[in-house]
Amino acid sequence: MAQERTGAATFKGNPITLIGPELKVGDQAPDFTLSKNLIEEVSLKEYAGKIKLISVVPSLDTGVCDAQTRRFNVEAGELGDNVVVLTVSVDLPFAQERWCGAAGVDRVVTLSDYKTRSFGENYGVLIKEFQLDMRSIFVVDAEDKITYVEYLPEMTESPNFEQAIAAVKALL
């Protein structure tokens, strides 16, 4: 059974339980299998040798998640070809694709954790009560070491964009 961190975060002030370990700077990034679309799955090794900014959102169809993904889409255009920005949610792949098309988001790779929620469990962001992934940011270097982590204490708050981008730029 996976580790549970009760009260590790809140949703509108109410405690929620996160499933999985609390990852720290210096940890090896756990592998994952996420859906790129309904047929194709990807893992961490698909992005080998690249700096990865992993932006985790509960659902693209909410205001904070929408704004977070749009912001990282703009930033992605300025980070160069050695950086990939991945947005992970439990939204179905076709919902992610529809949202990206409507929002004009074309620099962020959206990946879905809907099948097994294993990303959420491995990265310590699966919300037990909602079966969604908690808002968080991970910066992973080209050797798959975590160099920056931000677990948001409140689900409805935005991440620290400047610190996350600075963590990526420090690796360039």
Q: What residues are labeled active site?
A: 65
The tokens describing 157, both together, are 């708050």
CB 112 within 8 A of CB 34: yes
**Under 8 Å CB-to-CB from 70, ≥6 apart: which residues?**
103, 105
User: Phi-psi category of 62—alpha, beta or left, where left has phi over 0 and alpha has psi -120 to 50?
Assistant: beta
